[in-house]
């Protein structure tokens, strides 16, 4: 009989899991809280095993069509003076790397699913009951669903994790930063360049999206970890930008006329086990790596393919354990990398800020290119254990 997987969350991990499980002969059902595919407009880079596996899913032409070309990133200080110019196009030219919007990746994953894969949008799971031989869920509208496996792919603030594995505090490791992303009409006309304003403890990056809108990403140092509720996000961004270049504040004024930004903490999720009985967590719900690692989406795709492969080859509980065993070494390395890279990306004190800029500015261009390339390569290298097990 065809086995059934209930997948909570239709993001990168959930949709990838549905694709791979369907290919392995399962019947996946996606349960998504949002009314459509969540519109998170930020740009992400796919490289390493995640990109390789996306290619195996036949996604490359669609991803390439949605790709943003990245030329160079110009860093300016709060007075607008140029600090540094990183020529991404030059550094990345020999690396298989696709930069695109998360929304476009999620759309491509959804379009790749066969028509008979059910996605229940606007659906909220109220209870999970692992009965040993099956797992049953009840939705808020009263619908009861039963499956052989329940996959929690519901992101960093996973409800499945809290319900089946315990409170977030047990697993959250805060890195001491927050981020915010939003988009606005393109007032900068950057083309394929990035523009960054940087100051001690705060960086803002602007880049043009595929659809011609301008995207902004702020990352800043803070020990605050409480969830920033609706209504408080724009005032908070104005506050942290009070000393930045005036154009940052002007753009905040423009953006604040639109929808609220996405704001969250840079939080690693570090769990001793990603599965319990017939419930398994995938993607950020299991092992959020934060945006610093540059591999969160890629590892979600890789994890989904490994899971389906293992489930096709051995009994369920054994397969879940083996999936975790294959993925863990890469996750540990990438999380370690996230812990270390934050201070370099956003130096917290004026002294460390000036020191970093001085070093980068005075490094010969060839060294800078090599340094940048090796930073991206080390991120890919950290995920290579997975590549070996998925080959
Ligand atoms: C600014 C930024 C930049 C990034 N850059 C990169 C990068 O360059 N490269 C890279 O590989 N990764 C990057 N990442 C990380 C990457 O986006 C994530 O690792 C990836 O999206 C995780 O996928 P996911 O499916 O686990 O979670 P998500 O993408 O968060 O999806 C979770 C899904 O679950 C749904 N959901 C939540 N709760 C429930 C519920 N209770 N019931 C039903 N559905 C629910 C949500 O609506 C959503 O659709 C970046 C992240 C950010 C924020």
Where are the domains positioned within the chain? Answer: 4-171+267-390
The verdict on the CB of residue 10 being under 6 Å from ligand 1 is: yes
Question: Which atom of ligand 1 lies nearest, measured to the CA of 31?
Answer: 43
> Which residue did the predictor score with more confidence, 84 or 382?
84
The verdict on the CB of residue 207 being under 6 Å from ligand 1 is: no
Which runs of consecutive H residues, i.e. helices, occur in the chain? 12-23, 48-56, 60-66, 88-92, 102-112, 159-165, 233-240, 246-255, 284-287, 296-313, 316-345, 350-362, 365-382, 384-390
Alpha-carbon distance of 62 to 116, in angstroms, equals: 21
The verdict on the CB of residue 201 being under 6 Å from ligand 1 is: no
Architecture in CATH for domain 4-171+267-390: 3-Layer(bba) Sandwich (3.50)
| Residue partners of 87: CB distance under 8 A and separation at least 6 | 71, 72, 369
Question: Are the beta carbons of 239 and 111 closer than 8 angstroms?
Answer: no
8, 9, 124, 289: residue to mutate for ligand 1 pocket, most atoms within 8 A of CB: 9
Question: Which atom of ligand 1 lies nearest, measured to the CA of 50?
Answer: 11
pLDDT of residue 309: 96
Of 37-41, 152-156, 314-318, the least confident: 37-41
The verdict on the CB of residue 153 being under 6 Å from ligand 1 is: yes
Q: What angle do CA 61, 63, 69 make, to 5 degrees?
A: 110
Alpha-carbon distance of 268 to 277, in angstroms, equals: 24
Nearest to 117 by CA among 187, 26, 179: 26
Question: Which atom of ligand 1 lies nearest, measured to the CA of 284?
Answer: 26
Q: What is the whole-number distance in angstroms between the Cα of residue 308 and the centre of ligand 1?
A: 20
Q: What is the pLDDT of residues 208-262, one digit of tens each?
A: 887 788 899 999 999 999 999 989 999 999 999 999 999 999 999 999 999 999 9
pLDDT of residue 95: 81
Q: What is the pLDDT of residues 359-374, one digit of tens each?
A: 777 777 666 666 666 6
pLDDT of residue 40: 67
Q: What is the pLDDT of residues 33-76, one digit of tens each?
A: 999 986 767 889 999 899 999 999 999 999 999 998 888 888 89
> pLDDT grade, residue 191 (50/70/90)?
confident
pLDDT of residue 268: 97
Q: What is the whole-number distance in angstroms between the Cα of residue 40 and the centre of ligand 1?
A: 9
Alpha-carbon distance of 137 to 157, in angstroms, equals: 19
């Amino acid at each position: 009989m065809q086995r059934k997987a209930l997948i909570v969350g239709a993001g990168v991990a959930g949709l990838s899991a549905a694709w791979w499980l369907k290919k392995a002969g399962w019947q996946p059902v996606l349960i998504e809280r949002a009314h459509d595919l969540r519109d998170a407009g930020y740009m992400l880079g796919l490289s390493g095993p995640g990109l390789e596996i996306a290619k195996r899913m036949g996604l490359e032409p669609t991803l390439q069509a949605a790709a943003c070309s990245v030329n160079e990133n110009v860093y300016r200080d709060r007075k607008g003076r140029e600090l540094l110019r990183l020529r991404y196009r030059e550094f990345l030219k020999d690396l298989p790397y696709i930069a695109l919007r998360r929304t476009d990746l999620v759309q491509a994953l959804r379009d790749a699913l066969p028509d008979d894969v059910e996605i229940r949008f606007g659906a909220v799971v109220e209870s999970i009951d692992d009965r040993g031989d099956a797992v049953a869920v009840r939705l808020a509208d009263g619908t009861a669903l039963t499956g052989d496996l329940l996959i929690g792919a519901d992101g960093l603030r996973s409800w499945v994790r809290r319900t089946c594995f315990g409170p977030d505090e047990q697993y959250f490791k805060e890195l001491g930063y927050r981020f915010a992303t939003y988009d606005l009409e393109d007032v900068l006309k950057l083309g394929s360049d990035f523009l960054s304003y940087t100051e001690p403890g705060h960086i803002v990056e602007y880049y043009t999206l595929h659809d011609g809108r301008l995207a902004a990403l702020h990352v800043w140092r803070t020990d605050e970890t409480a969830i920033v509720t609706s209504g408080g996000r724009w005032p908070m961004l104005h506050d942290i930008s009070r000393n930045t270049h005036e154009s940052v504040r002007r753009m905040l004024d423009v953006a604040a006329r639109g929808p609220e930004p996405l704001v969250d903490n840079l939080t690693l999720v570090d769990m001793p086990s990603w599965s319990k009985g017939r419930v398994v967590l995938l993607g950020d719900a299991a092992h959020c790596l934060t945006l610093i690692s540059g591999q969160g989406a890629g590892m979600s795709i890789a994890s989904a393919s490994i899971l389906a492969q293992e489930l096709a080859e051995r009994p369920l509980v054994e397969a879940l354990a083996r999936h975790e065993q294959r993925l863990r070494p890469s996750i540990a390395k990438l999380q370690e990398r996230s812990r270390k890279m934050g201070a370099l990306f956003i130096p917290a004190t004026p002294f460390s800020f000036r020191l970093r800029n001085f070093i980068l500015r005075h490094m010969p261009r060839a060294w800078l290119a090599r340094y940048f390339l090796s930073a991206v390569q080390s991120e890919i290298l950290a995920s290579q254990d997975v590549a070996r097990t998925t080959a």
